[in-house]
Amino acid sequence: MSFSSATAAVDLDPDKLPRHVAIIMDGNGRWAKKRVLNRIRGHEKGTETVRMAVRTCRKQNIPYLTLYAFSTENWQRPRQEVAALMALLKKFLLKEKAEMMAQDIRLSCIGQIENLPDDVRATIHDVCAATGNNRHMTLNLALSYGSRAEITRAVQQIAQQVRAGSLDPDRITENIISNCLYTQSMPDPDILIRTSGEMRISNFLLWQIAYAEIFVTKTLWPDFSEVEFLEILKAYQTRERRFGRVGGQV
């Protein structure tokens, strides 16, 4: 991750920055297909965009970035593609660890991490431990992640507390539920971006995006640029977030 690239010329209001950006990185396969390349080349190119997204958030002082890197459904892809994605993830983490330390970025991972291959898990464990005290920004990777599975897990935890007698069902609040999700220590995303034009949420952060501003771009993830990212942040700053209230109340 290099911080030397020129910042694109988009003026952002530092008082209206999102605290948390979540991204569904879609379109790697189509990017490769358009160039008659193997899908894996698309994921490789997409990894460069991951670097850009982290760098941009760090430069703009956005404290949380969550990237949907691998869903529970992605296990059903051809074995070769799954293996390539796992290898890319490991390579990315090993390569970025020093930069994450230098730039005060903490790694966090959400999802069924226990289902990842041993070597990937060990690398995640190592980078999470090394960067655990970094405070400037959190890079949160959703891996083997599915929102319904996350919510199911939360319901199980709450049911166990009720069965044990430590929680009265009448006292279950939204906060208690939020605190049982993988994202418990993070603010909810202010922005959800999806690349490649599909109008779907794809089982991503269903609870957490209740009030997120949604941006869908037709750009395929490998082509998603810093300029476009900054334009989305600029557009976010012009949106009126009412959280269910009327304009003047907010």
Indicate which residue of 26, 28, 140, 190 is catalytic: 26
Taking the complex as a whole, how short is the minimal distance between the CB of residue 149 and ligand FPP, in angstroms? 17
With binding defined as CB under 6 A, does residue 92 bind ligand FPP? yes
Which region holds residue 185: left if phi is over 0, alpha if psi is between -120 and 50, else beta?
Answer: alpha
| Nearer of residues 143 and 154 to ligand FPP, judged by Cβ | 143
Beta bridge partners of residue 66, listed in sequence order? 22, 140
With binding defined as CB under 6 A, does residue 107 bind ligand FPP? no
Fill in the amino acid letter for 80: Q
List the interface residues with ligand FPP, window 147-186 (CB under 6 A). Answer: none
With binding defined as CB under 6 A, does residue 96 bind ligand FPP? no
With binding defined as CB under 6 A, does residue 27 bind ligand FPP? yes
For residue 171, CA distances in Å to 162, 180, 189 come to 10, 15, 26
With binding defined as CB under 6 A, does residue 74 bind ligand FPP? yes
CB 51 within 8 Å of CB 96: yes
Active site residue 74: yes
Fill in the amino acid letter for 176: I
CB 224 within 8 Å of CB 67: no
Taking the complex as a whole, how short is the minimal distance between the CB of residue 38 and ligand FPP, in angstroms? 12
Helices (H), 64-166: 79-102, 118-131, 147-163
Taking the complex as a whole, how short is the minimal distance between the CB of residue 18 and ligand FPP, in angstroms? 20
Active site residue 26: yes
Q: Which of 139, 138, 179 is nearest to 158 (CA)?
A: 179
Q: List, by residue number, the catalytic residues.
A: 26, 74
Interface residues toward ligand FPP, by CB under 6 A = 25-30, 43, 46-47, 50, 67, 69, 74, 85, 88-89, 92, 141, 196, 221
